Amino acid sequence: MQEKLLEKFKELFGADGEIRTYFAPGRVNMIGEHTDYNGGHVFPCALTIGTYGVVRKREDNKLRFYSMNFEHLGIIESSLDDLKPDPAADWTNYPKGVIWAFGEKGMKITQGMDLLLFGNIPNGSGLSSSASVEVLTGYILKDFYGCDVTNQDIALIGQFSENKFNGVNCGIMDQFAIAMGKKGHAIFLDTATLEYEYAPIELKDAKIVISCSNKKRGLGDSKYNERREECEKALEEIQQYVGIKSLGDLTEEEFEKFKSAIKDEDRVKRARHAVYENQRTIKAVEALKNNDVELFGKLMNESHVSLRDDYEVTGIELDTLAEEAWKVEGVIGSRMTGAGFGGCSVSIVKNDAVDTFIEQVGKAYKEKIGYAADFYVVEIGDGPVRLA
């Protein structure tokens, strides 16, 4: 893979100078969805699929970007003097946003770059291809450009750039999971405090299977920001009666006690999901620590139902993937993962049921939706790394 990317880089940009190769993973969230901007807990892990980058510093201020996933776009050029979001710049708004954000944080980049990317994360799948590109860019600026940042800083700067440069009001989870990934572990992260612990995922006789709906979604133009606003409004209404900083501060019992403060039924549902999902995530991690994978799976299923009925971010594609998964013997748990409105589901499937799962769910999905889903048996990997 690396040789092929290097060859393409040299063909496009020439072979002079020091050329380095990097990798940043994608991520999947096992449980804890739409809790990260509500001050709750999440439980994501980095994957062994992700984004490769081949890069060389330039002597001038030019930025030249090329993606092997979007070859029809060719080389997209801009400059360090022109770091502003531009629809015509397409995917390059993500690395540009990170370079801009480093400057905003007092680390102005004064040398341009030639950057070739290749991602083996399905585009639009909800496995965080955009955050993967952001963390990759941040790691390049740390390692190659000498910026004095930790991987946790890279996560925060990536989130800042997505919020302020690309206009997506995302939480911290995606960038954090990618920047801080650890092989064989998921990250139990309190998004309110950024306190975290690594929890081993020991599935023994089971695998994690990602089912990609192949329904593309764009976060910025989805209902993502709308959901966030609904939760913020619900929080304001509850705060008139109880001193909390976020919905993640409430237990289920406290929510039921104060929910009458919320003046709109839709906002009640959104807030109920945020509170109950946070508590489910805490219980799920406890279940894993007790080697109770069955309970973990049950909580995954409950998470999907809440995302479907209370948060209303699933849609027919993700509902079909989850509901068909629940029918297969040997499926421990299955739920949508990511922002929703398309993207993927994540399932824990016993080893001897994986082939049946892919066949049965795939057949039912195609019959109902009209096009095929893709399936990936994935492994949990490390965070960003320099390869060469």
User: pLDDT by residue (tens digit) across 177-208?
Assistant: 999 999 999 999 999 999 999 999 988 899 99
Phi first, then psi, for residue 198 (nearest 5°) are -85, 130
pLDDT in tens, 252-292: 999 999 999 999 999 999 999 999 999 999 999 999 999 99
pLDDT in tens, 221-248: 568 889 999 999 999 999 999 999 999 9
- How large is the average pLDDT for residues 46-74? 97
CB-CB contact of 246 with 40 (8 Å) = yes
Output the CA torsion sign for 99, 100, 104, 106. positive
Per-residue model confidence (pLDDT) at position 220: 45
**Active centre residues (catalytic):** 174
Q: Which amino acid is at 236?
A: E
Q: How many CA atoms lie within 13 A of 132 on its CB side?
A: 30
Per-residue model confidence (pLDDT) at position 162: 95
User: What residue spans define the domains of the chain?
Assistant: 2-200+382-386
Burial letters for 245-275: b for 16+ Cβ neighbours within 10 Å, e otherwise? ebbbbbeeeebeebbebbeeeebbbbbbbbb
Phi first, then psi, for residue 62 (nearest 5°) are -75, 145
Within 58-194, strands assigned E span: 62-67, 76-79, 113-119, 185-190
Dihedral, 347, 198, 281, 163 alpha carbons, nearest 10: -90
Reduce the DSSP state of residue 144 to 3 states and report it: coil
Q: Which fold has domain 2-200+382-386?
A: Ribosomal Protein S5; domain 2 (3.30.230)
Chain centroid, CA 27 distance in Å: 5
Per-residue model confidence (pLDDT) at position 143: 98
- This prediction's pTM: 0.91
